[in-house]
A and B are shown apart, each in its own frame.
Chain A
Amino acid sequence: MALRDWQSALGQLVEARSSGRGLGPVLASLEERPLTDEERRGLREVVGTRGFSLTAEVPRWWRHLRVQRSARLTLMALRGDADAVLSDYLRAVPCFTLFFIAEGLSFLEYVARTVTRPHVRPVAELERALWTLKLAAPAWDGTVREPEPGAVLERHPAAACIPFKTSPQALLGAVLSGAPLAELEPGPHAVLVAPGVPGLWRPAEPEEARAFEACDGVTPLDTTGALAGAPVDAVRALLSMGALRFGAGGGQAVAAR
């Protein structure tokens, strides 16, 4: 037996059934694999058994559970589409992990990328940003730094500023209460996710959103300590919340909360 090839074939068969993609391509590939005739026959026969069906159901149940536990808000925002979107996700993204948050992040990225239903995308992006921040920055030491001449800024790698097309408080309230999302008043808003924000998120002021947007990559401050299109106060606010930080060597520690 070529153990490596047998495992590859069986694993792909189980995953294909589990994801709902169908077994056809994997079964067709058996002829090209360095397996014996007996091994090919055994694999073709096993896929018709109840034991195979159950084996393939187990990872599907777990993937459902992982998403349900780590993407609760987004599933609520999806309302009646949640089951269909979850099935689409399982079909589109092969199983890659046993970890709850890793699966949840993958699902949220999929929803943000593919779902067009109004208001779902920012909810998925917010939920994803919160997980990312929790994983990357478990503690915020509160150190605030004052810029020095020539200093450059960069975004905290786990901070985010997410655009919303309606009031984020109203949207999240509607998601949680089950109220209609379509009736929300349209308008540009943003949510800031940063390690120094109590609760990790809050609505962003328009100038803060502009400052975050302006700091793309390593960005130099101007002589007044501002960024292009964003005033000093907004820059200081983002620095104080850890959404922005100084690049290597920049800034001077002045206070610790």
Chain B
Amino acid sequence: MAGGTEKTCLPGDFVPPRRLGVGLTYIPGAPAVEACRGAVDFLELSPDILCHEHVGGGARRLIPQPARLEQALRDTEGVPVVVHGLGLSIGSAHGWNPAYLELLDAVHALRPFPWHSEHLGFLTVEAPGGELNVGTPLPMPLTEEALSLLVPRGAALARRYGVPFLLENLTWYLPGLPTEGGRDEVAFLNDFVERSGCGLLLDLYNLHCNAVNHGFDAFEALGRLRLDRVVQVHVAGGDTHDGFLMDVHSDVVPEPVWELLEWVMPRAPHLAGISYELLEEAPRLTPDVVLRQLERARALWRLHPGEGALHGAA
């Protein structure tokens, strides 16, 4: 494996990171992000925003944009940054995106992160004319073959940067995902963390969307999930379209998601951060509105000091 600082991290060697607190999506120049700088303990960066993509000759290249990189470094100075990606396409069976890994290496060299995460899904597939980008992450089948693909990739990512790698549960709208032996998403995620030594980014809004759209009990699902591997929680809000609750980060956190968060917090001993996800184009998410979401998250955060804090950790 090329690049990056590698440390010994065997499967099962999950080492929880230090607690950070309440965070927010980093969007350069967004008024809400600017206004809330003093109200967050960390920022969540998507490395894709730092570069331009060039696709040609059958290869993808991510070309860092120096101005964006400099602004990001300036904006995040003194604030812990965690990395949350989509472009790796970790679940693509024909291969993940090596250009994204190179970008992650560059980001890590400039601003080491305490953990990083990816969506559980695949974006790119093989097609007759070459690689196709579907344009939205599609869900993985809940099968042993999918686990066999993801487990070594997750473990390799954790080794590459020497910090926990987290997989995030996805919202999906397709019915009837292929599965084996009755394995559902919760069982799949549990198997993944058990075999890989990785952690989870539990997106409670995604879980809520899936529970509403596919008709299951989110609390029952959480009751079966390995909450001891949850390092970060996402909260967000969205919109409804054609009867589906959609993962678009365009609104305030709905009450059912706050209730899920209240339930999770005392049961997730290694939870190190809660972050509010927002969409740059969302007109409803004014600075005041975003600030109120962060304040509510912080109130819950303070109620639950976590296992590390009980033992005197930061």
Cβ contact within 8 Å between B126 and A3: no
Residues of A within 8 A of B48 (CB): 98-99
Show 29 A/B contacts (Cβ-Cβ < 8 Å), sorted by A.
A3-B145, A3-B146, A4-B93, A4-B94, A7-B93, A7-B94, A7-B138, A11-B125, A11-B134, A12-B125, A12-B127, A14-B136, A15-B132, A18-B134, A18-B135, A46-B174, A49-B174, A50-B242, A53-B242, A54-B241, A54-B242, A58-B136, A59-B134, A59-B135, A59-B136, A95-B132, A96-B133, A102-B53, A135-B63
With A and B bound together, what is the CA distance between A27 and B213 in angstroms?
26
Q: A8-B125, A98-B123 are in contact. Are A55 and B173 (CB under 8 A)?
A: yes
**CB interface residues, B 240-255, toward A, < 8 Å:** 241-244, 246
Query: How many inter-chain residue pairs (CB < 8 Å) link A and B?
Result: 127
Q: A62-B136, A96-B55, A98-B123 are in contact. Are A45 and B176 (CB under 8 A)?
A: yes
Q: A1-B141, A54-B244 are in contact. Are A98 and B65 (CB under 8 A)?
A: no
Residues of A within 8 A of B243 (CB): 50
Residues of B within 8 A of A3 (CB): 93, 141, 143, 145-146, 149
Cβ contact within 8 Å between A98 and B146: no
* A contacts with B: majority SS: helix
* B contacts with A: majority SS: mixed
B281 within 8 A of partner (CB): yes
Closest to B241 in A: A54
Contacts A7-B125, A39-B178, A51-B244 given; 10 further ones with Cβ under 8 A? A1-B143, A7-B91, A11-B127, A12-B125, A12-B132, A45-B176, A52-B173, A59-B136, A95-B133, A97-B55
Cβ contact within 8 Å between B135 and A15: yes
Cβ contact within 8 Å between B174 and A51: yes
| B interface size (C-beta, 8 A) | 46
Closest to A50 in B: B242
Closest to A10 in B: B138
Residues of B within 8 A of A11 (CB): 122, 124-125, 127, 132, 134, 138
B154 within 8 A of partner (CB): no
B92 within 8 A of partner (CB): yes
**CB interface residues, B 102-142, toward A, < 8 Å:** 122-127, 129, 132-136, 138, 141
Q: Which of B92, B127, B136 lies at the interface centre, i.e. has the most chain A CB atoms within 10 A of its CB? A: B136
Partner of B67, one of A14, A50, A138: A138
Residues of B within 8 A of A54 (CB): 173, 241-242, 244, 246
Q: Which residues of A contact B (CB under 8 A)?
A: 1, 3-4, 6-8, 10-12, 14-15, 18, 39, 42, 45-46, 49-55, 57-60, 62-63, 65, 94-99, 101-102, 135, 138
Residues of B within 8 A of A49 (CB): 174-175
Cβ contact within 8 Å between B178 and A51: no
Q: A3-B146, A50-B242, A50-B244 are in contact. Are A96 and B175 (CB under 8 A)?
A: no
Cβ contact within 8 Å between B136 and A6: no
Q: A46-B174, A54-B241, A102-B54 are in contact. Are A7 and B122 (CB under 8 A)?
A: yes
Closest to A29 in B: B128
Cβ contact within 8 Å between B134 and A15: yes
Say how far B291's CB is from chain A's closest CB, in angstroms. 26
B186 within 8 A of partner (CB): no
Q: Which of B53, B91, B242 lies at the interface centre, i.e. has the most chain A CB atoms within 10 A of its CB? A: B53
Say how far B102's CB is from chain A's closest CB, in angstroms. 15
With A and B bound together, what is the CA distance between A10 and B246 in angstroms?
20
**CB interface residues, B 241-299, toward A, < 8 Å:** 241-244, 246, 281
**CB interface residues, B 57-114, toward A, < 8 Å:** 63, 65-67, 86-87, 91-94
State the 7 A-B residue pairs at the shortest beta-carbon distance, nearest first: A59-B135, A11-B125, A4-B93, A51-B173, A95-B135, A99-B53, A3-B93
Q: A3-B93, A51-B244 are in contact. Are A94 and B53 (CB under 8 A)?
A: no
Q: Which of B55, B123, B125 lies at the interface centre, i.e. has the most chain A CB atoms within 10 A of its CB? A: B125
Say how far B151's CB is from chain A's closest CB, in angstroms. 13
Say how far B118's CB is from chain A's closest CB, in angstroms. 14
Closest to A38 in B: B178
Residues of B within 8 A of A135 (CB): 52, 63, 65
Say how far B180's CB is from chain A's closest CB, in angstroms. 8
Closest to A52 in B: B174
Q: A51-B244, A94-B132 are in contact. Are A8 and B175 (CB under 8 A)?
A: no
Residues of A within 8 A of B176 (CB): 42, 45-46
Q: A49-B174, A58-B136 are in contact. Are A7 and B92 (CB under 8 A)?
A: yes
Cβ contact within 8 Å between A8 and B94: yes
With A and B bound together, what is the CA distance between A57 and B242 in angstroms?
11
Cβ contact within 8 Å between B126 and A14: no
Q: A3-B149, A10-B138, A12-B125 are in contact. Are A102 and B172 (CB under 8 A)?
A: no
